[in-house]
Amino acid sequence: MRILITGGAGFIGSHLCDRLLADGHEVLAMDNLITGSENNIAHLAGNRRFMFIYHDVTNYIYVPGPLDAVMHLASPASPVDFDRVPIQILKVGSLGTHNALGLALSKKARFLIASTSEVYGDPLVHPQPETYWGNVNPLGVRGVYDEAKRFSEAITMAYHRIHGLDVRIIRIFNTYGPRMRLDDGRVVPNFVGQALRGEPVTVYGDGSQTRSFCFVSDLVEGMVRLLQSDVLGPVNVGSPDEITMLEFAKVINRLVGNEAGIVHKPLPVDDPRVRQPDITRARATLGWEPKVTMEEGLARTIDYFRSRIWQ
């Protein structure tokens, strides 16, 4: 297959490039590097089946030649980005998704939209099944990302219903691993970065809020399976193993050997109290569930950050 990945130089996108190339496909990675990095794909520069295209998908997308699939991952996705580039997030979720859908339609390609667990907001149903419609504050700081992704799902389904486009919707839950940005603002790089620097790990609120963490290789496996399946979606892909932020901070400190402890700060506005996917649909339709244990995944992630934190 010849596959375009928007956001291909990002954390998840670059790992997806690796996997699809390893599977024998031709991959075009498109990115404007607002949060992605050429360092993430530098090792692919000599691969004849790989091409990097520097482009902002909120502008018209032109790709010469045929495409079999468009995988739309482009979007800043970290809490720090919600304050830093909120308009760009809204634009890539709306204009960018519209342009990517138009390209897929013109090429008669399958379209996969990388949606997010944030469409569930601060959920009133736990764990979250795909049938849950969510509890989102559209006016809050986080709303720019939540609503951009909800719009992305809506326009994807509109293209499916009106134009008959072959689409897939994946809802990605907290994912971590090598190539995350140290200044990402998400839990794993925050905790690991502080622990490696010998600082107290910052836990917001009392730390009773929960998350579940999926290693990036497991997520990519789910994405590939969904793309190759006949399942429209949406499909939750993430780890069902829930952990409190306080306990997670203790795990990070233990693995790093950080003795500086933990410090508590006020809980951010609209921060979800719980987050855990119901992956019944992924198990039943894709035969997918995560394989990498938290200890194994964190060890690999800590090694990655350790090699870069003092560069």
Name the average pLDDT for the chain: 96
Question: What pLDDT, in 10s, does the model give residues 66-82?
Answer: 999 999 999 999 989 99
Residue 233 lies in a domain: yes
Domain span at residue 285 reads: 2-177+215-239+277-291
CATH number at residue 38: 3.40.50.720
- Cis-peptide, bond into residue 268, ω within 30° of zero: no
Question: What pLDDT, in 10s, does the model give residues 265-293?
Answer: 998 877 788 899 999 999 999 999 999 99
Residue 245 lies in a domain: no
Residue 196 lies in a domain: no
The model's confidence at residue 182, banded by pLDDT at 50, 70 and 90, is confident
State mean pLDDT over 249-268.
95
- In the predicted structure, residue 256 carries a pLDDT above the cut 90: yes
Residue 270 lies in a domain: no
Task: Map the chain to HEC letters.
Answer: CEEEEECCCCHHHHHHHHHHHHCCCEEEEEECCCCCCHHHCHHHCCCCCEEEEECCCCCCCCCCCCCCEEEECCCCCCHHHHHHCHHHHHHHHHHHHHHHHHHHHHHCCEEEEEEEHHHHECCCCCCECCCCCCECCCCCCCHHHHHHHHHHHHHHHHHHHHHCCCEEEEEECCEECCCCCCCCCCHHHHHHHHHHCCCCEEEECCCCCEEECEEHHHHHHHHHHHHHCCCCCCEEECCCCEEEHHHHHHHHHHHHCCCCCEEEECCCCCCCCCCCECCHHHHHHHCCCCCCCHHHHHHHHHHHHHHHCCC
Catalytic residue among 54, 60, 62, 145: 145
CA distance 147 to 94: 10
Q: Which of 53-67, 218-232, 295-309 has the lowest mean pLDDT?
A: 295-309
* pLDDT of the residue at 175: 97
Tokens of 179: 């190539």
Residue 46 lies in a domain: yes
- In the predicted structure, residue 115 carries a pLDDT above the cut 70: yes
- In the predicted structure, residue 233 carries a pLDDT above the cut 90: yes
Q: Is 145 a catalytic residue?
A: yes
Number of domains in the chain: 1
State mean pLDDT over 228-233.
97
Percent of the chain with pLDDT over 90: 94
State mean pLDDT over 105-117.
98
CA distance 77 to 146: 10
- In the predicted structure, residue 91 carries a pLDDT above the cut 70: yes
The pTM of this model reads 0.95
Q: Which of 209-213, 258-262, 265-269 has the lowest mean pLDDT?
A: 265-269
* pLDDT of the residue at 310: 60
Residue 169 lies in a domain: yes
State mean pLDDT over 87-91.
98
Question: What pLDDT, in 10s, does the model give residues 119-173?
Answer: 999 999 999 999 999 999 999 999 999 999 999 999 999 999 999 999 999 999 9
Residue 297 lies in a domain: no
